[in-house]
């Protein structure tokens, strides 16, 4: 695995852009699930929707070399199965040789720019199913935030259903991340009550002409002791998302630990919590999360 360098990566992109396709064609692939039947994925698709903050640093993810260094550290840790990202980030990792024997998930809809008036009209501006197939990646991830009072949510829902269909036609996993959302003082907020999460899971499970290749990526509800009630809404395989960087990592781990005991929960998809921990020890944060599995 090479060390990240803007000079080297830009030189390759400028002079031999075909190197990306060549690296994708030569990449060694693996099954979605390892021997333990679990999945540990590091997420890094935030920058493409303008969400660069982590903790108290508003531009944490704005330094691409630093982000790539953190991703490379995480991907080398035992028990880490793969990465979720947009085309630019995954292609950098391909050129660095960091995706060998890893599950690679392309992020599909990043049109919901953070803070925009059109935030809930989440158009598919990232990977298409055809791109994921061409690059020999393993899955596509789509965000499904629904606000019953925002007409833009219908476009998001229709786009998500089409993506589920297109991925299923290719035998690729669709990882759907559903929320019921609403605007509070002009800002989009996700409802993490048991009732809202259960309803969002039920809606996401029914997208498309088949759910055979659909997985869910869901938040841990506010009332952790009731998370089982929310996940009873579907039989689809489920992974837990990490969310914002927590000021209390021990409490976050306890919540994850409880949720991981449920029968349909197969793993974790965590981004900033692992890549930008408070003590800046990426390897330690990743190892602690892997230990929960």
What does 30-56 look like in DSSP terms, one character per residue? Answer: --SS-TTS-EEEEEE--GGGT---BTT
The token pair at 291 is 């230990």
224, pLDDT greater than 80:
no
Q: What are phi and psi of 111, to 5 degrees?
A: -75, -10
Per-residue model confidence as pLDDT tens digits over 178-201:
999 999 998 999 999 999 999 999
The runs of H, that is alpha helices, within the chain are 6-15, 18-26, 64-75, 87-96, 129-134, 152-169, 194-205, 227-231, 249-259, 272-275, 282-291
Are residues 98 and 75 in contact, defined by beta-carbon separation less than 8 angstroms? yes
> pLDDT confidence of 227, banded at 50, 70, 90?
confident
* Residue owning tokens 């408070």: 278
Cβ atoms 90, 106 nearer than 8 A: yes
State the Cα angle at 90 between 88 and 96, rounded to 5°. Answer: 105
Mean pLDDT, rounded, for 116-136: 96
d(CA 213, CA 200): 18
Average pLDDT, rounded, for the chain: 94
Please tell me the predicted confidence (pLDDT) of residue 222: 78
pLDDT value for 249: 79
Residue 19: band (very low, low, confident or very high) from pLDDT cuts 50, 70, 90: very high
- For the stretch 39-90, pLDDT in tens is 999 999 999 999 999 988 999 999 999 999 999 999 999 999 999 999 999 9
What count of other Cβ atoms lies within 10 Å of the Cβ of residue 161?
Answer: 19
pLDDT at 4: 87
> What's the chain's length in residues?
293
The residue written with tokens 């298409």 in the block is 128
The domain segmentation of the chain, as residue ranges, is 6-291
Q: Is the pLDDT of residue 245 over 80?
A: no
Beta bridge partners of 145: 179
Q: Please give the Cα distance from 121 to 156 (Å, whole number).
A: 6
6-291 folds as TIM Barrel (3.20.20)
Q: pTM of the entire structure?
A: 0.95
pLDDT at 195 (0 to 100): 95
Cβ(278)–Cβ(56) below 8 Å: no
How far, in Å, are 14, 128, 133, 175 from residue 27 at the CA level?
22, 20, 13, 22
Q: What angle do CA 45, 47, 50 make, to 5 degrees?
A: 130
- When pLDDT is cut at 50, 70 and 90, the band that residue 246 belongs to is low
User: What is the DSSP pairing of strand 139-146 with strand 82-85?
Assistant: unpaired
3-state helix, strand, coil in the chain (%, to 5): 40, 20, 40
235 secondary structure, DSSP code: -
Phi, psi of 105 (to 5 degrees): -120, 120
Neighbouring C-beta atoms of residue 188, cutoff 10 Å: 18
Judge whether residue 202 has pLDDT over 90. yes
pLDDT (mean) for 7-18? 97
State the Cα–Cα distance between residues 214 and 207, nearest whole angstrom.
Answer: 9
Q: Is residue 231 very low, low, confident or very high in pLDDT (cuts 50, 70, 90)?
A: very high
Per the CB < 8 A criterion, the answer to whether 235 and 264 are in contact is yes
């Amino acid at each position: 695995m090479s060390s990240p360098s803007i000079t080297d990566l830009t030189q390759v992109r400028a002079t031999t852009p075909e190197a990306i396709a060549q690296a994708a064609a030569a990449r060694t692939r693996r099954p979605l699930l390892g021997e333990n039947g679990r999945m540990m994925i590091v997420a890094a698709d935030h920058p493409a929707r303008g969400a660069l903050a982590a903790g108290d640093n508003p531009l944490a993810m704005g330094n691409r070399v630093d982000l790539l260094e953190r991703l490379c550290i995480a991907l080398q840790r035992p028990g880490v199965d793969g990465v979720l990202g947009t085309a630019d980030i995954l292609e950098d990792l391909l050129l660095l040789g960091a995706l060998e024997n890893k599950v690679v998930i392309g992020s599909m809809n990043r049109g919901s720019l953070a803070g925009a008036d059109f935030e809930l009209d989440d158009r598919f501006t990232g990977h298409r199913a055809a791109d994921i197939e061409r690059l020999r990646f393993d899955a596509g991830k789509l965000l499904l935030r629904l606000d019953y009072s925002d007409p833009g949510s219908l476009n998001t829902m229709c786009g998500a259903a089409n993506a589920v269909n297109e991925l299923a036609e290719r035998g690729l996993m669709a990882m759907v991340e559903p929320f019921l959302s609403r605007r509070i003082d002009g800002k989009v907020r996700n409802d993490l009550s048991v009732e809202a999460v259960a309803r969002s899971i039920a809606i996401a499970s029914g997208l498309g002409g088949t759910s055979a290749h659909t997985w869910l990526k869901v938040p841990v509800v506010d009332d952790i002791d009731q998370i089982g009630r929310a996940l009873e809404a579907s039989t689809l395989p489920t992974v837990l998302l990490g969310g914002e960087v927590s000021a209390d990592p021990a409490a976050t781990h306890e919540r994850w630990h409880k949720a991981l005991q449920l029968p349909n929960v197969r793993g974790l998809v965590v981004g900033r919590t692992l890549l930008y921990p408070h003590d800046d020890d990426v390897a330690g944060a990743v190892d602690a999360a892997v230990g929960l599995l």
